[in-house]
Amino acid sequence: MTTLDQHDSAATGETWSCQTCGACCAFSAEWPRFSLESEADIARIPAVHVDDAAGRMRCVGDRCSALVGEVGSDTACSVYAVRPEVCRACEPGDPECLMARAHWGL
């Protein structure tokens, strides 16, 4: 779950652009899960991208339906301004980021 911004990775010193990655948005359907959001927060996310029964973003396989573009090439979050808390918390270079990137061979 990405900030989809460009950041310096504290872990590696590399600069990664989430906009050429997107790996964490297509790693596991269990990742973009709602946590601290209020009902109003969730209501701001376009309903087509919300899986109410599962309590998370809607996913197609392991990929969040709000992710647009091609993983590892050119990606964006189509609900960036209203994305879940877990997506805001994920930072390039953190353990989850490294796991997702490794999964995608990035």
How far is 30 from 9, CA to CA, in rounded Å? 24
Residue type, 72: G
- Interface with ligand SF4, residue 16, by CB under 6 A: yes
For residue 32, give both structure tokens.
Answer: 């973009």
Which CB sits closer to ligand SF4, 70 or 100?
Answer: 100
Count of residues of this chain found to bind ligand SF4 when the rule CB under 6 A is applied: 25
The residue within the footprint of ligand SF4, chosen from 28, 29, 32, 56 (CB under 6 A), is 32
Smallest separation, CB 38 to ligand SF4 (Å): 16
Q: How far is CA 106 from the centre of its chain?
A: 16
